Chains A and B, each alone.
Chain A
């Protein structure tokens, strides 16, 4: 099983600042099958980034993803008030598909 470890657990920032979220895999994720989701309280998760670096439809360009192998990063270039949420990474390369434990951006 590929274990995804997200860091930090909580990121305390202000609007306008840059957020850098890390997702580290316990083994290499083939074909960069890493995705990132945003979840706000009481809402369904929303896909932000797929295949490590591709923005999903309708996602603002302040969100970007990068990485390969075992280290992946989600960057929010300038935080907007609506970006304060929990962010999860996920891998679909190997079964069982797994999620990281989440990073809260507050």
Chain B
């Protein structure tokens, strides 16, 4: 049973555009929602994370929006750049459980 559903599976955005990746979860015990970024040939690396006591967190061009009632959260990449081309994973964790990852979104930012 997939506990974190991520969409879209792939995304093409023009340079300077906004990339949006969405995730939904079922487990209301989740209280930590990170996003990981993975470049080809590398392991995933933490990009940004949010806890459900806030609705938005921004770090540079990357923003997480969180909707607790809808059990959804999303990653927005403003002014997308070719260097942002990577696979992005949302994830969720509750208490001392391990991270549950979404299946990933392959983002391609065209020059």
Bind each other: no
Q: Hey, which bits of chain B sit against chain A, CB under 8 A?
A: none
